[in-house]
Amino acid sequence: MLAKRIIPCLDIKDGQTVKGTNFVNLRQAGDPVALARAYSDQGADELVFLDITASFEGRKTFTELVKRIAENISIPFTVGGGIHELSDVDRLLSAGADKISVNSAALKRPELIDEIARNFGSQVCVLAIDAKQTEKGWWCYLNGGRVETDKELFSWAKEGEQRGAGEILFTSMNHDGVRTGYANEALSRLSDELSIPIIASGGAGKMEHFRDVFTFGKADAALAAGVFHFGDIRISELKLYLCSENITIRR
């Protein structure tokens, strides 16, 4: 069995790490370079860096910040936010990113996934999906959760895989920042219906939530932000706990 991955996420706004609840009420969480270095040293398996207002504000992701973070870590590094074309991908990979996350731009123009996979390889392309569970099911949102689309979670994830995405990063907007656990039922269905890795995001509050997302949710990786940024859970201690629960983890 492949080892499960623990992935801290750095949501960046105006050059600083922030964390909110249900995608709003953002508060400062620290310097992204210092946090990235600390997580790399603590044993995180990967990092995700999302410029959360880039698509909404029409900006490009901070290339210089990506360079600074890449210089300070020794683990794989995914960057997202404001990526609309292949030149954006090339610029960020050149700055030190290992993978690229696309969300809003892919919803608006799904062919972008094909283009990234064809030019840089599927392993570079992470399809990020922000979805909210409503009375009519799970529906995808763009521009940092501000705009509802006509895309349904499971069909869009499947289309992303078919177009060449190498991983799906699914964030449940209902669970984001609430700390009551991940959307395990939806995650389990994604895992059953797709053959590429599923990264779970939204809902981590205690160590048991990570155990549950790997067992009940069948996720390949668990992403979290606030519980790491504010010191509620240390990655080294989390990995010891998961090992004690017989979950295969990288040490």
Q: Which long-range contacts (CB under 8 A, 24 or more apart) does 71-76 make?
A: 71/96, 72/33, 72/36, 72/37, 72/40, 73/36, 73/37, 73/39, 73/40, 73/47, 74/40, 75/39, 75/40, 75/44, 75/45, 75/46, 75/47, 76/45, 76/46, 76/47
Looking at residue 3, the DSSP 8-state letter turns out to be P
Output the CA torsion 157→159→163→166 (10° steps): 20
Nearest to 78 by CA among 54, 102, 57: 102
Distance CA 170, CA 172 (A): 6
Based on the residue annotation, tell me whether 11 is a catalytic residue of this protein: yes
> Active-site residue among 45, 51, 88, 130?
130
Based on the residue annotation, tell me whether 150 is a catalytic residue of this protein: no
Instruction: Report CA-CA distances (Å) from 164 to 135, 169, 197, 249.
Output: 30, 14, 12, 27
Q: 188: which residues sit within 8 A by CB, 6+ positions away?
A: 216, 217, 218
Instruction: Write out the catalytic residue numbers.
Output: 11, 130
